[in-house]
Chains A and B, each alone.
Chain A
Amino acid sequence: MDLILSAIDILMRWDVALALLAGSVGGVLIGAIPGVGPAVAIAILLPATFSMDPIVGLTVLLGIYGSSMYGGSIPAILINTPGTAVNALTTYDGYPMTARGEPRRALSLAYSSSFFGGIFSVICLILFAPVLAKIAPMFGSREIFLAALLGLILVVVAHRGHALVAGALACFGIFLQTIGLEPVKYTQRYTFGQDFLGGGINLIVVVLGLFAISQAFVLLTDEDEKVRMTRLRGGMFQGLRELARHPRVAGVSATFGVLMGMIPGVGEFTAQFMSYTYAQKTSKRPQDFGNGSSEGLIAAETANNAVPAAAMVPLLALGIPGEALTAMMLSVFYVHNVVPGPGLFQNDMDFVVALYLALLVLNVLVLVFLLFATKSLIQVVRIPNRFLGVCILTLSFVGVYSLRNSATDCVMAAAFGVLGYVLKRLSLPSVPIILGMVLGGIMEVKLRAGMARVKEPFDFIDRPVAFILFLLIIIVLAVHILRVLKDRKELKEAEWQTNRSSTSFGSLMLRRKNSFLKDHGRKVRARHSKLLRRLTDLF
């Protein structure tokens, strides 16, 4: 109780109240505009928060993180375009509800579910905080190294179908953080004799380039979309009543959100899909999922809003960010010489609880704001894409230039913007680069410190937590390898089936060594089989 009272004392300041308000309203607005998203907003605002107190700066950023998903559900439900990436699943059931004339019900249900998810996770974590405070000191250098390595591996293997390139990009991130003057032996690494590389590449420059400037490029090179809005009539309170009729789906989805949020690299998407699948499998009307099911909407929105509070756990308890947004927040801690990790939980527990209470208040503020202001708020969806691109490019300048007033930083940010644009065009992930940079730095320091007292390799995992983390790494890698082998087997089977589809012409073609003829033969077989199917369909 004393802890909560001292946490409330930290929050009872006018600047924290203002930060809460700005974060919540700003986050909703940012989430409601498709194409912006919390990553862009946080990247732009990061340098501005450096001059604030840590609690104020973090409250603004947490506010944007926590409330953007509320806002993101508005365009997902009304125009079938998710406001933030994690609202993609909301379109499955939200938009069909709008299509059949129930946009108000869908929005109200989405807000209520998001509110429940947010509050549930914060309460869970406040209750869980004393346990974390006991576990966190068990993490020494070796354990933090292994946890960071596990986080990085999870981020890489989470990109199914792109795990190899995600791994290469994570390594690229690790390489980026090694550039500059090495702090122990004072030697230069990959500076090419240039002074501007001596101090290393700033994380915020990379973040702004990969998230904000690249998004501006995407919007500037795209066409404006025509938006057809649905009119909203009536109140927005029915969702709370409807949510109360599905306590099981809401509870399980929020639990998935909390659990998945705590695991680095997993996050909202996995939580959403797990809770959505659970809701569908246990529903009495599974056929409604994807066609405007209220349970589907509850599952998706509850799970994604339970994640932000949980995602702060690895960051605060171990100093290890699990995804890009918390990685950006880590820099706010560093700027203020507040080192997140076991020490924070031991010495500044009231600060940690204050952050969670801020999230709690934030959820209430956002819900009240949305229940009364949705009708006016939906107008932001109409802002044209390319105009948004111009705005983001202008705002990116503030973010990069205000760091060190360096034009070189801006050149680097623009270069990373081009790289981010290319990655977006190719549907490749840019998050591994950021996490590689952040976790690579942590791993370098912690491995050096951890190996100082290790004589044999097995000494590294002789402590229980280190051994458990090592086992988890082995399990994750083994599961990934098994999945790759299974995919490969399925591919082989599918290829074999297509090869056997035309035997007579295929046996002829097999005798040919020329690859052009093989390709040509495949085309001819495809044409023949298509014609044959058409012919047989006639009878």
Chain B
Amino acid sequence: MPSERERRFAGPRRGQLVFALILLAAALLLLALIGEQTTWVKKTKLFAQPRFWPAVAIGGMVLMGGLHLYKLPWRRVSRYDLWEVKRWGQVFEFAGWFMGYVLLVPVIGYLPVTMAFVPLLCWRMGYRSGFMLWAGVAFAVIVVVLFKGFLSVKIPGALIYEYLPGALRSFFILYL
């Protein structure tokens, strides 16, 4: 049965202890590196020291992160915490999809990669109907035309566009 302290905790229990431990460990690690990663300049006031604000920030992280850990109503990592950590790990797959997309765009081109990426990820998410896959393709085309064609956001032309014939090459590099 959960204690009164556990009942009053705002938010789910799973993963809280692990997160608090990671936060504090990261803060302590950064604090340990402060001498190496920042400089103390002689004949300079404290508030103008390059080390002052990193020290304030990391000091705050250690202090408040430590107090947060101390005030948590749990002291042991349960199996629910481990399940939650596994769940956090699941998103690395989608981060991988995102990075694959990022790395392929400068090589193959924004339009072709987006037109492949969206339906493929839709397929991965379990959509098998032709409607959803074509909706994905349509979305990809709209995004590319809107952002690169109309709003002229800075996305460079792909390497393979170099092999296209003259006018088509310029058009693809500029708009797709």
**Given the complex of chains A and B, what is the CA–CA distance between A522 and B58 in angstroms?**
40
Contact flag A422-B68 (CB < 8 Å), given A171-B58, A189-B50, A190-B37: no
**Given the complex of chains A and B, what is the CA–CA distance between A184 and B49 in angstroms?**
9
Question: Distance in Å from the Cβ of B152 to the closest Cβ of chain A?
Answer: 6
Contact flag A451-B64 (CB < 8 Å), given A51-B151, A192-B37, A402-B155: no
Q: Which residues of A contact B151 (CB under 8 A)?
A: 48, 51
Question: Distance in Å from the Cβ of A244 to the closest Cβ of chain B?
Answer: 40
Q: Which residues of B contact A47 (CB under 8 A)?
A: 153
Tell whether B10 is near chain A: CB-to-CB under 8 Å.
yes
Question: Distance in Å from the Cβ of A179 to the closest Cβ of chain B?
Answer: 8
Choose among A167, A390, A403 the residue with the greatest number of B CB atoms under 10 Å from its CB. A390
Decide if the interface of chain A is mainly helix, strand, loop or mixed: helix
Instruction: Render B110-150 as a binary contact track against A, CB cut-off 8 A, 1 for contact.
Output: 00001001100110011100001001100110010001000
Tell whether B154 is near chain A: CB-to-CB under 8 Å.
yes
Give the size range of A's interface with the partner. 35 or more
Give the size range of B's interface with the partner. 35 or more
Partner of B19, one of A184, A191, A426, A451: A426
Tell whether B74 is near chain A: CB-to-CB under 8 Å.
no
**Given the complex of chains A and B, what is the CA–CA distance between A48 and B78 in angstroms?**
45
A5-13, A127-135, A491-499 - interface stretch: A491-499
Query: A386: nearest residue on chain B (CB-CB)?
Result: B125
B118 A428 Cβ-Cβ under 8 A: no
Question: Distance in Å from the Cβ of A133 to the closest Cβ of chain B?
Answer: 31
Partner of A397, one of B19, B41, B105, B127: B105
Q: Which residues of A contact B80 (CB under 8 A)?
A: none
Q: Which residues of A contact B117 (CB under 8 A)?
A: 394
A167 B114 Cβ-Cβ under 8 A: no
B4 A494 Cβ-Cβ under 8 A: yes
Tell whether B167 is near chain A: CB-to-CB under 8 Å.
no
Q: Which residues of A contact B59 (CB under 8 A)?
A: 171
Contact flag A448-B155 (CB < 8 Å), given A185-B41, A190-B33, A417-B95: no
**Given the complex of chains A and B, what is the CA–CA distance between A522 and B6 in angstroms?**
14
Tell whether B97 is near chain A: CB-to-CB under 8 Å.
yes
Contact flag A221-B90 (CB < 8 Å), given A174-B57, A189-B38: yes
Query: B22: nearest residue on chain A (CB-CB)?
Result: A422
Q: Which residues of A contact B136 (CB under 8 A)?
A: 387, 390
Query: A421: nearest residue on chain B (CB-CB)?
Result: B91
Query: B68: nearest residue on chain A (CB-CB)?
Result: A164
Instruction: Render A431-460 as a binary contact track against B, CB cut-off 8 A, 1 for contact.
Output: 000001000100110011001000000000
Q: Which residues of B contact A160 (CB under 8 A)?
A: 10
Q: Which residues of B contact A395 (CB under 8 A)?
A: 143
Q: Apart from A171-B59, A188-B39, what 7 extra A-B contacts exist at CB < 8 Å? A: A51-B152, A160-B10, A221-B91, A401-B155, A414-B98, A422-B15, A498-B3
Nearest 4 CB-CB pairs, A to B? Answer: A161-B10, A171-B60, A427-B11, A175-B57
